[in-house]
Structure 1
């Protein structure tokens, strides 16, 4: 291999950390189930965004081509291949709907939701939808080996185009179900776009970080990192535009059933959380990625990608937790345990599969320079 692997974290160590965090989570589930599920949901949403975004980027690269995709394909394939782990980690949420959603509680009355929402927001129907969504995602992930083939390019391109449509629709449905329905009277036409773009932004940032840590020695590595930096900048701009557009649209309408979402998330301490997310995920990476010298240097580019990924994690907690807490001051350090547990299991699975993906893709990467 022509690259020096600098990923020193052992999967066994991650499993040990995740197991200890999971034990603490189970104890908390016993004495404070509401608090457990409230912190478990954003953790699952963040970590499942990495394989989903990786799937989307793989299919986009299949349709468009380019050296950037070949450069990070091992990371994207490995990340997408961990989707079954995310599916298993999502299972506890099926038993905690009543702790998260008002419409899943026995005292929720049908007239409380207008029109078709009364039918749509039913726990049984909700679980059926999510089961179908995960089956479709796992089916897409299982076809990764087919996308590596050089034969039948037209058919593979058609499958990728169809896969993107399926993934876009299901990710939109997923965001509506798990995030928007936290406030059953609130609706947003823009959340579907954000639900599709946010995972791709996170997956690209994670892939860039992984590639920076792998430190390839090829002569064209600097150009590849520059391409990735430019692509990451484009996604940062797209995410920032969609997030601001949603806020601007709701602010201009000034309707009580619309503004309730932002009233809760811009009050008390959540306001500085929102600004911190905007700066860490948007403003700072935007400024850093404007410099070509930074994008060419993996030791510097990794910081910009790390900021994007950190801001993405903050965003999911900002989307979920204000529905239950008036300010971040009400949170407990124990709320970080699900993030550590889910992340530990996911990263352990990722690191176990990564060497095989790197070895398999090495000849192809060399042929692309």
Structure 2
């Protein structure tokens, strides 16, 4: 049961961690580009980014349950021989993950406090791109060593930003309306389209490119009725939100955006569960435990973001983020 719980937590963590890390990425992008959208979403993105140290602490069950989660950690012979001695090694895996989480935590606290400048945002964003390229493969794809996808890390990073935007829509500030709401809707449309495009093209390349090993990876995710999991993820997290966001009136409605945010978060959660749970036999316990863990984590995050927002407003009442990202107060 402990092993199943660790596997379920990985599935939940892969989805939930996108909220603080995706918020961090959006703040860094706004630090370089500026724009009204960042000022409007700052009341949610800043407190969410300040939770990156919590993401580091939440990684502890994964580190402690490494052998139960990853087959190469329990048996080195399970790893492909070309990477087993150097890359898929428990100590090196943990070192990479800890380093990434520490760097994200430091950057998250800096931008949440309104410190740093354009140069800091540029360097931090470059670091983020490197770290997510490694961590996405480590955390998710290595549960089935041997499967690779050159586009996976990019899709993972975009989906994290989509998670943050959806969370911002779900917790939309009371004054979010009109052009600001429309800006958020546009960002949701862009990141949603990018997420679906990369995932779909990766599937098409593997399925129709005469790549039997990669096709087998997808086939495993169609067994045990799991095909309905991805169908539900696409319907709830992509098709329905996309249709709602095409309506000009709904794009400016705070209530509609909150609905869209909730649907997108549901779709992302189902997608991440679909990625991780089928790696185990049987997939049911990790899937169920992951779903419960994700619901609990999101509920706790809502409360923590509100608490962090009030704390930031007191500590940094008039400080601006790089690129003019609003005021804490």
Same fold (TM > 0.5): yes
2:155 to 173, 185, 194: 194
- 1:1-369 equivalences under 5 Å are 32-105=1-74, 107-109=75-77, 113-144=80-111, 147=114, 156-211=117-172, 214-216=173-175, 221-325=177-281, 328=284, 334-357=289-312, 360=317
CA displacement, residues 216-251 of structure 1 (integer Å, 9 cap, x when unaligned): 18xxx3111011111111111111101101101111
Q: CA deviation at 1:272?
A: 1.1
Q: CA deviation at 1:333?
A: 5.2
Q: CA deviation at 1:335?
A: 4.9
- Secondary structure, counterpart of 1:38 in structure 2: helix
Q: CA deviation at 1:348?
A: 3.3
Quote the Cα distance in structure 2 between the aligned partners of 1:306 and 1:361. Answer: 31
- Secondary structure, counterpart of 1:339 in structure 2: helix
Quote the Cα distance in structure 2 between the aligned partners of 1:191 and 1:113. Answer: 19
Quote the Cα distance in structure 1 between the aligned partners of 2:134 and 2:102. Answer: 14
Cα 1:320–1:361 shift into 2, 3 Å: farther
C-alpha contact 2:66 2:73 (8 A) present in aligned 1: yes
Quote the Cα distance in structure 2 between the aligned partners of 1:148 and 1:298. Answer: 30
C-alpha contact 1:44 1:339 (8 A) present in aligned 2: yes
Cα 1:344–1:302 shift into 2, 3 Å: closer
Quote the Cα distance in structure 2 between the aligned partners of 1:145 and 1:234. Answer: 25
Cα 1:137–1:365 shift into 2, 3 Å: closer
Quote the Cα distance in structure 1 between the aligned partners of 2:127 and 2:326. Answer: 33
Q: CA deviation at 1:366?
A: 9.3
Cα 1:199–1:145 shift into 2, 3 Å: closer
- Secondary structure, counterpart of 1:269 in structure 2: coil
Quote the Cα distance in structure 1 between the aligned partners of 2:70 and 2:325. Answer: 47
RMSD: 2.5
Q: CA deviation at 1:294?
A: 0.1
C-alpha contact 1:97 1:104 (8 A) present in aligned 2: yes
C-alpha contact 1:175 1:191 (8 A) present in aligned 2: yes
Quote the Cα distance in structure 1 between the aligned partners of 2:96 and 2:288. Answer: 33
C-alpha contact 1:175 1:192 (8 A) present in aligned 2: yes
- Secondary structure, counterpart of 1:120 in structure 2: coil
C-alpha contact 1:62 1:157 (8 A) present in aligned 2: yes
C-alpha contact 2:238 2:264 (8 A) present in aligned 1: yes
Which segments of 5 or more consecutive residues in structure 1 lack a partner in the other structure? Answer: 1-31, 150-155
